[in-house]
Structure formats: structure tokens, C-alpha cells
Amino acid sequence: MSEPTQTGAQREELVLNMGPHHPSTHGVLRFVVHTDGEIMRKAVPEVGYLHRGLEKLAESQTYAGYMPFTDRINYLEAMFTEQAYAMAVEALLATEIPPRAEFLRVIACELNRIANHHITLGCITMDLGAYTPFVYLLRERESINDLIEALCGNRITHNYLRIGGVAYDVDNIWLGQLESYLDHFEPIINEFEALIVGNEILIKRMQDIAVISRRDAVAWGLTGPNLRASGQDWDVRRDIPYGAYPQFEFDVPVGPLGRGQAGDCYQRFLVRVEEMRQSCRILRQCLAKLPEGDIKAKVPKMIKAPKGESYASVEGARGEMGCYLVSDGGKNPYRVKWRTGSFSAMSIIEHTSPGLMIADLVALVATLDVIAPECDR
């Protein structure tokens, strides 16, 4: 690739191997980066380091037995994978879920969404060099982990949902704790904004960087916050309503918000900050409206789904989390296929990267919020 210049010096591309163990490749992920000095020609993601065969594993598990495996698809949003899977099975079984269980699922998912955005926003700031906001957000996430631990006994891989409902009920103590957490956390979002969101250096690093147009975002199948930051108003919770979501009022933040243009890194950052606020709003409504009743529908101990197929999708923290399930009428799923937000986000990196600087690649990967295990499965 060397091309002679006027001075006779050779111009060569520098091929950098970013990863698999590199501080800013979240999880185990590798980029082959072709650079000219600090400017990138292109960055090609190499995935597959974390392939654990989670789709194939389903074929040897019972329907109920596969639930803990779904947690491992993405350790940051375990509740969403659980719910997508539970909904897919429930659609096959045609089970009615008790309203209290639906509310508890919403509570668990929205808590999980906030916890996930803590990590995402923290990692973005950390990748841009500010370490302290990450620690603050991690501190807040600890409280959520405590809450979820009290809810179901697990902090990361929750295994809280069951086919037909949820595993454990909540009592008034836990609801009181959740309410005090919300009282505590809502001002913290403002404090986070004062600390870092309006920081001029941070804005300079992200504004108008790695712009993904709305057209590209739709074409590459981006979903969730990444899609909404590009200006496409789409949220599965609102547009394909599921669970208890139709009963809540919430806004869907769509870029451009504040400074910058739709689709740049800063918008992807802002959309997530705003989503934490909306999640708090949904949780407050949950607390006010939580109905009494059963937490689990009657489902047989050994589930045998009727022959057929179903697809269920939920609005995960990284976009549409979809589960496609095929049943041959036996006690194991015949095939499970996952559709995750990280996979499409990963695929757009190669398209967006030319012309960026190495430091911008870090910002792009961080704001797209790709999680290698979710991509590889």
C-alpha cells in the first residue's frame, strides 16, 4: 500500500491490532485498525471471542431450564433477555400473565435499564478519560444491585423471571426501599449532568463525531438509544406494546437533544441520560399502581410447548431484544434465535469509521454501547 511522495519517502498504512485485550474494547473484542498517522482509513471489528453457543444450548435444555442461560447473553441486561424469552414461550403456550407479575417485570426491567445505563454512561466518560463519573455511577448501580439482590438473590445474572410470571413477590419494605432509592437517584441525574454532561471537553470530544444518519441507522438495523439518537422515533415499549407498558406514561427521547446534530456521539450519550429519567418516571408509576394478586400464572411443571413458532421482542437497554422460538412439540425448544442490539451496532462500525481518529473510534464504540458477549452469544 506504499505510495511514493514528492520527497521520495514512503507513505504506508499503519495496521494496528486493537484488542482482544485492550482497555477500551468492552469485553473481548478486536479491531483491525488501518490508520494513516492518527486518522483511520477503516476499522474492522473481529467478533467471536466470546461465543458460548447459547443458542445451540437451548436445544438441550427444557423450556424452564433455559431461563438462567438467557442471563448470560448479556450480563448487563439480564432482565430483558429473560423477558424476551419468557414472552416467546408464553406466546406459544398462550398463557395469561397476572397483572402483578407484569408490573414486577416492568419494575425489574426498568431498574435493570437504569443499572445498564450507569455502566454505559460511565464507560463512555471513562473511555474519554474522565474516571470519576464512572465511579459515581457505579456507586449508584451498587444500590440497584442491592435492590435486585433483595428481590431475587442475584446481583448480575438475576434469573428472576419465570415462564408465566416472576419468581418472587415484593413486600412493602422493598417497595419503600425502591421509593427512597428513586428519591435519592433523581437528583443524582442532575448532579451527573452538572459534573460531566455539560463539560466542554466532553462535548468537544463527542459533538459532530461519528455521525450516523437516520437513513444509515435504519439500513443497518440499529435499534434502541442508538436509533433514537439518529432521529428515528421508535421504541418497542410504545410502538409494539407489551406487558404492562401501555398503562404508563413516558416520553421517548429522540435526537437531536441539546447541542450537536442527530446521530453524533453526544446525542447517543444524551438520549441515555434522558432514558434514565424516563425509567424513574415509569418506576414511580409502577409504585403508585402496583396491583395485588398472583405473581405467576398456572403453567405445567414440565412445559411442552405446542408445535409452532413465535417471536417476542422487548425494548432492551441496547435496543430491540428479540427472541425467535421454534417448537416441535417436545419438551426442549427446537431452535432459539436471538436478535440483539449490539450485533447491528457492531456491524455499523466499519461503515462509520473511515476518516475518524483513533480517539474517535473509542468514542464511537463506547457510545454505540456494543457489548461483545451479547454480540457473540
| Chain residues that interact with other proteins, rule: CB under 8 A | 14, 16, 22-24, 38, 125-132, 135-136, 139-140, 142-143, 146, 149-151, 153, 162, 167-174, 176-177, 179-181, 183-185, 187-188, 190-191, 194-196, 199, 201-202, 204-205, 294-296, 301, 357-360, 362
Question: Smaller CB distance to other proteins: residue 126 or 321?
Answer: 126
Cα 366 off chain centre by: 12
Please list, in sequence order, all residues whose beta carbon lies within 8 angstroms of the beta carbon of residue 289, skipping any fewer than 6 positions away. 103, 247
Distance CA 31, CA 40 (A): 12
**CA neighbor of 80 nearest in space, from 274, 284, 341:** 341
Q: Is the peptide bond before 256 cis (omega within 30 degrees of 0)?
A: yes
> What is the rounded distance in angstroms from the CA atom of residue 145 to the CA atom of residue 140?
9
Cβ at position 16, least distance to other proteins in Å = 5
We find the least distance from the C-beta atom of residue 148 to other proteins, in angstroms, to be 10
Q: How far is the CB of 243 from other proteins (least distance, A)?
A: 19
Alpha helices (runs of H) in the chain, residue ranges in sequence order: 54-57, 67-71, 78-93, 99-127, 132-152, 172-192, 200-206, 214-219, 224-229, 236-239, 265-289, 341-352, 358-368, 372-376
CB of 232 to other proteins, least distance (A): 28
Least distance (Å) between residue 55 CB and other proteins: 27
Shortest approach of other proteins to residue 193 CB, angstroms? 11
* Distance of closest approach, residue 33 Cβ to other proteins, in angstroms: 10
Given the complex with other proteins, which of 191 and 233 has the nearer CB atom? 191
Residue among 30 and 377 whose Cβ is closer to other proteins: 30
Q: Name the residue nearer to other proteins (CB basis): 38 or 233.
A: 38
**Of 260, 280, 261, which is closest to residue 213 (Cα–Cα)?**
261
Cβ count near 217 (within 10 Å): 24
Output the nine-digit C-alpha cell for 339: 436478535
Quick one: 252 or 359, whose CB is closer to other proteins? Answer: 359
**Spatial distance between the Cα atoms of 42 and 39, rounded to a whole number of angstroms:** 9
Q: Shortest approach of other proteins to residue 204 CB, angstroms?
A: 6
The CA-based diameter of the chain, rounded to the nearest angstrom, is 81
User: Which residue number, 169 or 309, has a Cβ lying nearer to other proteins?
Assistant: 169
Q: How many CA atoms lie within 13 A of 351 on its CB side?
A: 15
Cβ closer to other proteins: 152 or 257? Answer: 152
Which C-beta is closer to other proteins: that of 138 or that of 218? 138
